[in-house]
Amino acid sequence: MRVTVITHVVLALITTGAWIHVARTMPGGDDMAGMEMSMAPTPLDALAYVVAWAIMMAAMMLPSALPMIGLYAGTQKSASPPARLTSVALFALMYLGLWALTGLPVYAASLLLMAITAETLAYVVATVLVVAGVYQLTPLKQMCLRHCRSPLGFLLGHWRAGIRGALGMGAAHAGYCLGCCWALMVVLVVAGAMSLPWVLLIASTVAVEKLVPRGEWIARLTGVALVLLGVAVAVRPALAAGLRSSGASM
C-alpha cells in the first residue's frame, strides 16, 4: 500500500511540475509551445525540442495513465519495497520514454511545416483533421482505446514478472496509448501549432476518452467533429490560420 501511495504522489508531482513548465513556456502564441524553431537547426535544437516535447507529453499523458501505473504498483505486493519501486519506475519511464521519442518525428514535421506556404498549409491542416477524424472511428482506434480503458485487462493479458517484465509491459502500454492517441497529437502539432488552448483541449479529450464511462463514444464524437472541421477548413482555407493562432480555443 505504501508503494502504491508513493507512486500516486510522485506521478502527481511530476504531472503538476510538467503542467507548470508547459504553462510558463507557452504564453499562448503560435510559438510551438516555447520550442523555438530556427531556420538552420542544429542537433542541440533538436535535443531541446524533444526535451520540451517530453515534458509536454508527461503533462498530457500521465493523468490518464495514472490508473494503469497505480494498479501495476498494487500488483507488486510480493516483492520488496525497493524492488517494487524499481519495477514501477521502469514501467513509467518506459511509457514516458517512448512518448518522448515521438518528439523526433514531430520535430522533423515541424521543420517541414515551416517550409511550406500558408495556402498549402491550410490544405495540410484540412487533410490532417479529416484523417485524424476518420481514424477516431476505426476499429484499430477502438481496440487500442479498450486496452487503455481497462488497466486490469491489460495487466492480465500482458503480465510479465521482473525488470524485463516491467520494461516490456511499459512499452506495450505505451504502444496501445500511441495507437490510441497519435492522430490527436498530429492534430495538436499541425492544426493547433501546439498552442496552450490546443494542448489543454487535446489533453482533456485524451483523459475523457480513457477515464470517463462510455469514453469510446466520446472518441467517435470527436472523430465526427474533426472531420467536419477539416471539411470546413478545406472549403474556407482562411480558417487554418485562425486555428493555429493564439486565439484558437475551440
Please enumerate, as own/partner, the contacts of 203-209 that have beta carbons within 8 Å and a separation of 24 or more. Answer: 203/59, 203/60, 203/63, 206/60, 206/61, 206/64, 206/180, 206/181, 207/63, 207/64, 209/64, 209/145, 209/148, 209/149, 209/180
Residues 166, 83: contact at Cβ < 8 Å?
Answer: no
- pLDDT score for 79: 73
| Separation between Cα atoms, residue 160 and residue 13, nearest integer Å | 28
The pLDDT of residue 246 is above 50: no
Share of the chain above pLDDT 70, in %: 92
pTM, two decimals, is: 0.88
Quickly tell me which residue has 518525428 as its cell.
Answer: 105
pLDDT per residue over 113-148, tens digit each?
A: 988 998 999 999 999 999 999 999 999 999 999 999
| Separation between Cα atoms, residue 96 and residue 94, nearest integer Å | 6
Which of these ranges, 7-16, 165-174, 231-240, has the smallest mean pLDDT? Answer: 7-16
> Which of 63, 68, 88, 71 has its CA nearest to residue 146?
68
| Separation between Cα atoms, residue 144 and residue 127, nearest integer Å | 23
pLDDT per residue over 28-87, tens digit each?
A: 444 444 455 555 678 888 899 999 999 999 999 999 999 999 999 888 777 777 788 899
| Separation between Cα atoms, residue 222 and residue 206, nearest integer Å | 10
> Which of 109, 117, 98, 124 has its CA nearest to residue 189?
109
* Mean pLDDT of all residues in 185-196: 91
Q: Which amino acid is residue 88, in one-letter code? A: V
Question: Helix, strand or coil for residue 73?
Answer: helix
Share of the chain above pLDDT 90, in %: 70
Under the phi-then-psi rule, with left for phi > 0, alpha for psi from -120 to 50, and beta for the rest, what region is 194?
Answer: left
Q: Which amino acid is residue 66, in one-letter code? A: L
| Separation between Cα atoms, residue 33 and residue 42, nearest integer Å | 19
User: HSE of 230 in the Cβ direction (CA atoms, 13 Å)?
Assistant: 20
- pLDDT score for 101: 95
pLDDT averaged over every residue in the chain: 89
Q: Sorting pLDDT into bands at 50, 70 and 90, what band is 107?
A: very high
* Mean pLDDT of all residues in 175-187: 97
- pLDDT score for 45: 87
Question: Helix, strand or coil for residue 133?
Answer: helix
In this structure, the chain runs to a length of: 250
pLDDT per residue over 199-219, tens digit each?
A: 999 999 999 999 999 999 999
Task: Count, in order, helices (H) and strands (E) of the chain.
Answer: 11, 0
Q: Which residue has the higher pLDDT, 31 or 223?
A: 223
The pLDDT of residue 149 is above 50: yes
The pLDDT of residue 26 is above 90: no
- pLDDT score for 27: 53
| Separation between Cα atoms, residue 150 and residue 166, nearest integer Å | 18
- pLDDT score for 85: 86
- pLDDT score for 77: 76
- pLDDT score for 17: 95
> Which of 62, 66, 58 has its CA nearest to residue 22?
58
